[in-house]
Chains A and B, each alone.
Chain A
C-alpha cells in the first residue's frame, strides 16, 4: 500500500507494537525508558491524527487484507470516515496524554518499576486503534480483547492495594460478559450472512450485504447494545467504571475515560447504522432512554462523591449518556426517514464524543497532577491548591467549564446541537415519542445544570479556600511535560468551542455515509462564523463572537475602572468578630452536596451516623461530634448483589461434589460416561 491514510494509521500501530520489542533493552534505565517510550508514543499518535484527519477530510475509504490470523481467515482492515473520526479522537487524546505521561510516570521512579506500565500502555493504545479499523468480526474481537486485557493490567498496576485488585477483577468480569454478548451478536449476523456452515460471513462486508430478518436483527442489535453498553458504562452496567477508573494511574484513567469508552460508542454506531442498516424506531428509543438514565443518574452519583477521580469517573457515565441521547435521536429520525435530522443527531453525538475525550482527558490529567503533588485523592482533605499550583488550577478550571456546558467552550456546542435535535422532534409521527421526547429534553437540561453544580464543588473544594487536611504536604507544581499535555488539551477545548463550524464541516461526511445527507453546519448567508444547523432562522450560535464579546466587555470594564487607580488593600478574612476561624469550618464536599442529597436522596442508599460525645460538665455542649456518611449505588443491591450471591450459592453447592477421594471422582466419570452413552446411542 502507498502512503495513504490507512498506511499512516497502520504505521502508527506498528510503531506502538515494535517499541515493545525495545523495552527489555531499556529496562535497566527506567528514566530513559520513560523518556524514549512516551516520546515514541506521541510520535505514533501524531501519525494516527494525520491518518484520521486525512480520511475524514477527503472522505475516502481504504481497505487492506493482512494474511495473518487463522488459515483462510485473514484479517481485514478498513478505514472509512467513521473509523477515521474515532482514530482522530483516540490519537488526539493519546498524543496529549503521552506527552503528559513523560512527566507523570516519573513520579513512580524509585517507587516501583514502570516497565509493565509502558508495555501495557502501548498495547492499550494499539488495541484501541485496531478496534476501530477492524473490518471483520475476528480481528475486531481480538483487538477488543487486547484492549480489555491491556487496560486490566493497567488498572492492576499498583496491585499491592486490595482496592485495585478488586476493581480490576470486577472490570474484567464485566468486560468479558460484554465481549460474549458482542461475539454472539456477530455470530448471528455472520450466520445469517452466509449460513452457519461457512465461515466466510465473518467479514463486516458480508454482514453489510446480508439481508437479516427483523427478529434476528433485533436479537443481534440487543446483544451488541448490551455488550457495548457494558464497556461504555451505561447504567445499570456501570458499576465497574467508578471502581476501575480511579485506581488506575491517572494518565491511564484519562485514556480509559476519554477514549476507551468511545470505542463502545463506535461499536454501537457501526453495528446499528452500518452493519444492520435499517431498524425500527424503538431501537433508537431504547438507546435514548438508557442514555437519559445514564446522564441523570451519572451526574447525581458524581455529586455524592468526595474522591476526585471517582467523581470524574461517574461523570464519564453521564457524558456517555449524553452521547447516546444524540445517537438515539439520530436512530429515531433515521427510522422515520428524516435524514437531515438524523444527521444532526449523529453529529451532536459524535461531536460530544470528541469533546468529552478532550475535556475528560484534561480533567483526569489535572486530577493526576493533584494526586502527583499531594498524594491525595480525597477532596475532603484538600483545598487552597490554587495558591501552589498556578498552572494546573486554571487548566483544570477550563476542563470544569467545558464539561459544565458553558459557552464559549466545547461542551456547550454539543449540548446545544443535542437540544436543537430535540426541538426538531415535533415532526415525528409516533405518539409515544411525543411523550418521551419532552421528558428527554427536560432530563438533559437537568443533567447539564447538575454537572455545573458538581464542578463548582470539584474545583471549589479542591483548589479554593484553605487546605482541609491536618498536615499540608509539600505541594509542588506539575512539570513542563505534564503542563504541556494539559495546555494542549485546554486549547483544544477552546478551539472546539469557538470554531465548531470547521470541525463539523470536516466531519459532515460521516452522516453522509451513514444516513445519506450532510447537515451543512455553516450554510446560508452567515459563513463560517455562525453555526447554523438546518436553517439560519431556526437557530444560530457563534462561539467566537460570544468569546470575544465577553473578553471585550470584561477588558473594557477593567480598563475603565483602572484608569484612575487600581489599588486594592489586603486584609485578614472577616470572621464576624469570632476570631477562631479554622479550616475545618469551610464547606467541604459532603456539605456542599447536602441540599442535593436531600432532594434526590431517594435515589441512593444513604447511611448517616451522627455520634455526640457530651461534655461531662455542660450537657448541651458536646465535646466531640462524629459524622459518618455512606452513600451507595442502589444498583449494586438491586442487580449485582443477587447475582453475586447466587453465584456463591451455586459454587457452595457444586463444591459438595468435591470430596477429595479418588473413588468418588471415578464414580463421577463412570456415571458421566454412562449418561453420554445413553444419549449418543
Chain B
C-alpha cells in the first residue's frame, strides 16, 4: 500500500509535466475558435518545446551562472510544487513536506531568480521586465496568501491535503468568506500566470510586456525549460484552485479506481476552466501597467474582506 502511494505521487508528477503543455494548447485552441482563427492543434506546445530543445543555446557574452542556473531552478520548483498539490489523491507522501505557504514561496523563488536573470545581461528590457514583475508580485503575493489563508482558516490547517479533507467532510454550505477568497484567487491567478488583463503571453511589444521582457535573452533548451515551467505554472494554479475551492472528485485514498476516477474528473474540470479562462481573456483588454494597482489592490482587498468576514461572521 505504501508503495502504491509513491506510485500515485510519481504519477501525479508525470501528469503535471506531461499534461501541462496540452492544457496550454487547449486554451490556445479555444482562443483561436473564439476569435474565428484556425487552430494549430492541441499538441502545438509540444512541438514548440521539441523545437526549442533541439536548438543550440546562444548566450550573451556577459551572462553569468545565475542566467544559466535560473531555467533549471524555475523548472525544479514547478515540479516540486506539483508534488504537494493534491491533484488526484490527498494521500501524497510529499504533501506533509510543505504546506500552502511553502507553495506560494516556491513560486516566489522561481520569480526571484527569473527577475535576477532578467537583470543579468544588463539590457534595458530585462531590467524593465524584472522591475514590473516584482512590483506586480509584491501586490499579488500577499493577496494570494490572504485568499489561501481564508480557506485554511475554515479548514483549520494550512496543509492542502487537510484542506481537501475538511471540505469533503461537509460544510459545503455557502460561506461568504470562501466566496470572497475565490474571486480574489481568480484575479490573482490571472496576474501570477501572466494572462490578460495583467500581462499578455503572446506579445513582445516593449510597452506592454512583463514576463516576456525578463526572458527575452533566453534561447534553446533554457527557453524551453522556462516555457515549460510557465505552462506548468498555469496548470498548477488551476489545480490549486480546484483543490482549494472545488475538490470534489479528488480521491481520498490511494486506491486504483478512485484515482482513475479523479483523473477523469480533473480532465473535465480542466476543460471547463479552460473555457472560463478564454472567456475572460477574449472579453477583456490588457490593462495599462499602472491600472494594475487597482486590479491587484481590489484582489488584496477582497481577500482581506474574506478573512475579516471569517473572523466576524463565522
Contacts and interface: CB of A to CB of B under 8 A. Distances in A.
Interface in A420-467: 420, 422-423, 426, 431, 434-435, 437-439, 441-442, 445-446, 448-450, 452-453, 455-457, 459-461, 464-466
Contact of B124 (A539, A550, A587): A587
A501 B91 CA distance: 24
B102 interface: yes
Contacts of A583: 122
Interface stretch (B126-134, B235-243, B256-264): B126-134
Contact of A460 (B127, B156, B157): B127
Interface stretch (B21-29, B34-42, B142-150): B142-150
B138 A442 contact: no
A397 B120 CA distance: 13
| Most B C-beta atoms less than 10 A away, residue of A412, A530, A574 | A574
A537 B166 CA distance: 11
A386 B66 contact: yes
B138 A449 contact: yes
Given A441-B149, A587-B131, A461 B119 contact: yes
Contact of A530 (B96, B106, B112, B130): B96
A466 B56 CA distance: 25
Contact of B56 (A453, A553, A567): A567
B58 to A, nearest CB: 5
Nearest to B126: A587
Given A465-B120, A542-B96, A573-B62, A441 B307 contact: yes
Interface in A558-581: 558, 561, 567-575, 581
Contacts of A407: 98, 102, 105-106, 109
Contacts of A537: 157, 159, 162
A437 B157 CA distance: 17
Interface string B88-108: 000000101111011001101
Contacts of B50: none
Contacts of A39: none
A179 B171 CA distance: 55
Interface residues of A, number: 81
Contacts of B123: 573-575, 581, 585-586
B97 A460 contact: no
Given A406-B109, A419-B101, A592-B130, A574 B60 contact: yes
Contact of A406 (B56, B105, B310): B105
Interface in B210-243: 216-217, 220-221, 225
B31 to A, nearest CB: 28
B141 interface: yes
B275 interface: no
B277 to A, nearest CB: 24
Contact of B96 (A461, A540, A561): A540
A282 B290 CA distance: 39
Contacts of A591: 127, 131
Contacts of A530: 96-97
Contact of B122 (A397, A404, A466): A466
A596 interface: yes
Contacts of B300: 442
A426 B59 contact: no
Contact of B304 (A384, A442, A452, A573): A442
A260 B303 CA distance: 38
A404 B112 contact: yes
Interface residues of B, number: 82
A405 B153 CA distance: 22
B271 to A, nearest CB: 28
Contacts of B56: 567-569
B86 to A, nearest CB: 14
Nearest to B154: A426
B60 A594 contact: no
A445 B83 contact: no
B116 A539 contact: no
A541 interface: yes
Contacts of A107: none
Q: Which 5 A-B pairs have the closest CB atoms?
A: A587-B127, A465-B122, A445-B142, A460-B119, A553-B76
Given A442-B300, A537-B162, A558-B72, A550 B77 contact: yes
Given A426-B311, A546-B106, 18 more contacts: A404-B108, A406-B108, A419-B158, A435-B312, A446-B139, A450-B138, A452-B108, A452-B141, A459-B116, A530-B97, A545-B98, A549-B94, A554-B69, A568-B59, A572-B60, A573-B122, A583-B122, A592-B130
A618 B310 CA distance: 63
B135 interface: yes
A587 B115 CA distance: 12
Contacts of A594: 131
Most buried by B among A466, A537, A567: A537
Given A464-B66, A591-B131, A441 B146 contact: yes
B73 interface: yes
A419 B307 CA distance: 14
A598 interface: yes
Contacts of A586: 119, 122-124, 127
B124 A541 contact: no
A561 B52 CA distance: 12
A456 B217 contact: no
A459 B226 CA distance: 22
Contacts of B145: 419, 441, 445
A530 B141 CA distance: 25
B131 to A, nearest CB: 5
Contacts of B116: 456, 459-460, 464
Which of A405, A541, A583 is the most central at the interface, judged by chain B CB atoms within 10 Å of its CB?
A541
Contacts of B267: none
Contacts of A465: 119-122, 127
Nearest to B109: A406
Contact of B134 (A445, A453, A573): A453
Most buried by B among A416, A438, A553, A568: A438
Of B62, B135, B312, most A-chain CB atoms within 10 Å: B135
Contacts of A596: 135, 138
B98 A542 contact: yes
B137 interface: yes
A596 B290 CA distance: 10
Nearest to B100: A539
A302 B312 CA distance: 35
B15 interface: no
Contact of A456 (B72, B112, B140, B289): B112
A538 interface: yes
Nearest to A552: B76
Nearest to B60: A573
Contacts of A397: 66
A456 B60 CA distance: 21
B308 interface: yes
A571 B98 contact: no
Contacts of B60: 570-574
Contacts of A438: 146, 304, 307-308, 310-311
A461 B118 CA distance: 11
12 contacts: A423-B152, A449-B138, A452-B108, A464-B66, A465-B122, A541-B98, A553-B75, A554-B75, A558-B72, A571-B61, A587-B119, A595-B131
Given A404-B112, A465-B127, A542-B98, A423 B158 contact: yes
Nearest to B220: A568
A595 B289 contact: yes
B64 interface: yes
A557 interface: yes
B80 interface: yes
B115 A460 contact: yes
Nearest to A587: B127
B151 to A, nearest CB: 11
B13 to A, nearest CB: 9
Contacts of B112: 401, 404, 406, 452, 455-456
Contact of A592 (B127, B138, B156): B127
Given A407-B102, A537-B157, A553-B80, A434 B312 contact: yes
